[in-house]
Each structure stands twice: as C-alpha cells, then as structure tokens.
C-alpha cells in the first residue's frame, strides 16, 4: 500500500516542462504537408459506426504485392474507387475483387472530416472519391513508397490515424532521401498535397499496445482523389 506522502512525492514530475508541454495542434511539416493533431477526436463515435458498416460489406483482407508478397497491413476501401494490389500491379478499381460488387459508399462523416481537414490545411473544395482503410496489428508495417496511382496529383491526400500509435516515416521526393520519424496518435490527421504530394513515406512496424478505439489495432484512413478532376 502507498502512504499519502509517498504518492505526493511520486507525482512530482522530474522534468516539469516536458510533462506539461503539449505538442502543437497544427504543425507544418514542410510546404504542402500539415499535421492536425487530434483533429478527428470529436468524431470518433461516428467514424467507428461507419467502419462497422464498411467492413461488414467489404471485410479487411491482406492483399498480394506485384512481387508476390502478402502485405502485413490488412486493407479495405470505400467510395467510388478502391486501391487494390495483386500480381498484375497496383490500381484503383470501382469493383471490390473479393465480392465482385462496388465498394461501400463513402459515409457522410468521412466526407465531412476529409473536407474540413483539407480546408484547414489550405486546400479548399476537397471532395475525395476514394478512401483506403488500413488496419495494422502489432508488427505490421508499410515500406517507403510514393502515392502515385491517382490521376489527380493536384488534390491532397488526407490521412487519419486511429487506435494505437505508430511511427510514420516521412521522407523526400527521392527514394534515397533520409526519412524523419513522426509519431502519429489516435485522432491525428495529416494533409499532404502540393509540393509534398509525391514525397516518400511509410510506417515502421507498429508496437504492441492497446487502445479503446480498436483494441490492438491501428486504423488509418487515407482519402484521395483517384479519378482526374475533369472526369468529375
Ligand atoms: C498509414 N499511410 O499511415 C499509411 N499515404 O497507415 C499512407 O501510406 C499515406 O498516411 C499518403 C499520404 C498519407 C498517408
Ligand atoms: Fe501512402
């Protein structure tokens, strides 16, 4: 048992500033890329409900890379187009290859979140037509890549982190550039466009932990405009 005195002593922070200092709510990582910390927090209930609807129709699955490897991240999609990978390559497809049916439609709560996050990062009129939903279990990772299967690089990507934390690798426009690590927590939203749109990025193996949102999982929503804006 702890005595009250002990408790008080233990509560004294070793580094008072570090303990109370909060990371900024909005951080520009480089021109075109903004981290909005906690931006999705007020909508987590709506997001969770929507995720249940989506995954009932289009369950998470581990896709195969063109090189024949099974991805450690489980994926599904919603919206007019879904990102898919198989032995023939990466592409956007209006049809879920598992069900042969269109992907579940984009829930209103997703559209609104992506639109508002983009606007607060300076990208007005953002209407994504694709949302890739990634599910990481401890150990899952995403190697460094560029997002370049979309027709429309003029639109940003909006990326929402939920559940257990992850270290995001954030690099430059060339594969050999040296990445920095950015911790992404539940509710953080990254918006990424303009001169940053084709930067290399990835996710380090996710560490074992647990969060009320999705237990041992990290969920990431990445919104894109996959079709060109002229196609509408
Ligand atoms: C993830 N995200 O955070 C994987 N791509 O789980 C991505 O690959 C990504 O977060 C482009 C823009 C933002 C992203
Ligand atoms: Fe990506």
**Percent over 70 (pLDDT), the chain:** 90
Q: What is the mean pLDDT of residues 203-229?
A: 95
How confident is the model over 107-133, as pLDDT tens digits? Answer: 999 999 999 999 999 999 999 999 999
Mean pLDDT, range 173-182, rounded to an integer: 96
Sign of torsion over alpha carbons 51, 56, 58, 60: positive
Mean pLDDT of 18-25: 76
Whether the full predicted model's pTM is greater than 0.85, yes or no, is yes
Q: Which domains does the chain have, with CATH numbers?
A: 26-224 (2.60.120.590)
* Statement: residue 17 has pLDDT above 80: no
Q: Ligand nearest 165 Cα, by number? A: 1
Calculate the CA dihedral of residues 19, 21, 22, 26 and round it to 10 degrees: -150
**pLDDT for the residue numbered 11:** 62
Q: Whose CA is nearest to atom 6 of ligand 1?
A: 220
Mean pLDDT along residues 29-38: 97
Q: What residue's CA is closest to ligand 1, atom 5?
A: 147
**Ligand 1, closest atom to CA 134?**
6
pLDDT at residue number 4: 44
Q: What is the mean pLDDT of residues 177-189?
A: 98
From the CA of 222, the nearest ligand is 1
Distances in Å between the Cα of 66 and the Cα atoms of 52, 60, 70, 90, 101 are 29, 19, 10, 7, 23
Span from the CA of 22 to the centroid of ligand 2 (angstroms): 27
Check residue 103 and report its DSSP letter.
P
pLDDT given for residue 206 in this prediction: 98
179/99 Cα distance (integer angstroms): 38
Q: Which ligand is nearest to the CA of 168?
A: 1
Span from the CA of 188 to the centroid of ligand 1 (angstroms):
12
Q: What are the pocket residues of ligand 1 if the criterion is a CB atom closer than 6 Å to any ligand atom?
A: 134, 142, 147, 157, 159, 168, 190, 192, 201, 203, 220, 222
Give the pLDDT of residue 22.
85
Alpha helices in the chain (DSSP H): 4-11, 16-20, 44-57, 108-120
Cα 202 to averaged position of ligand 1 atoms, centre (Å): 7
Whether the per-residue pLDDT at 229 is higher than 60: the answer is no
Cα(173) to centroid(ligand 2), Å: 13
φ, ψ for residue 86 (rounded to 5)? -155, -170
List pLDDT tens digits, range 131-164. Answer: 999 999 999 999 999 999 998 899 999 999 999 9
Pocket test for ligand 1, best of 29, 33, 123, 159 (most atoms within 8 A of CB): 159
Over residues 62-102, the pLDDT tens digits come to: 999 999 999 999 999 999 999 999 999 999 999 999 999 99
CA of 142 to the centre of ligand 2 (A): 8
């Amino acid at each position: 048992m702890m005595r009250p005195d002990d408790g008080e002593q233990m509560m004294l922070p070793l580094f008072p500033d570090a303990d109370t200092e909060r990371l900024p709510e909005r951080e520009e990582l480089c021109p075109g890329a903004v981290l909005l910390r906690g931006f999705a927090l007020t909508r987590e209930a709506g997001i969770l409900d929507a995720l249940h609807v989506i995954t009932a129709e289009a369950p998470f699955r581990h896709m195969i890379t063109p090189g024949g490897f099974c991805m450690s991240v489980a994926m599904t999609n919603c919206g007019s187009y879904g990102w898919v990978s198989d032995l023939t390559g990466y592409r956007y497809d209006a049809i879920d290859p598992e069900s042969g049916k269109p992907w579940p439609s984009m829930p209103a709560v997703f559209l609104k979140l992506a639109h508002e996050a983009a606007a607060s990062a300076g990208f007005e009129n953002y209407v994504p037509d694709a949302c890739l939903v990634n599910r990481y279990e401890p150990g899952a990772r995403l190697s460094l890549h560029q997002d370049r299967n979309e027709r429309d690089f003029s639109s940003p990507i909006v990326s929402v982190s939920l559940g257990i934390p992850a270290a995001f690798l954030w690099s430059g426009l060339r594969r050999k550039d040296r990445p920095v690590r950015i911790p992404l927590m539940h509710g953080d939203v990254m918006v990424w466009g303009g001169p940053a749109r084709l930067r290399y990025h990835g996710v380090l193996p996710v560490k074992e932990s647990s969060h009320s949102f999705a237990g041992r999982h990290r969920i990431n929503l990445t919104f894109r405009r996959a079709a060109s804006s002229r196609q509408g």
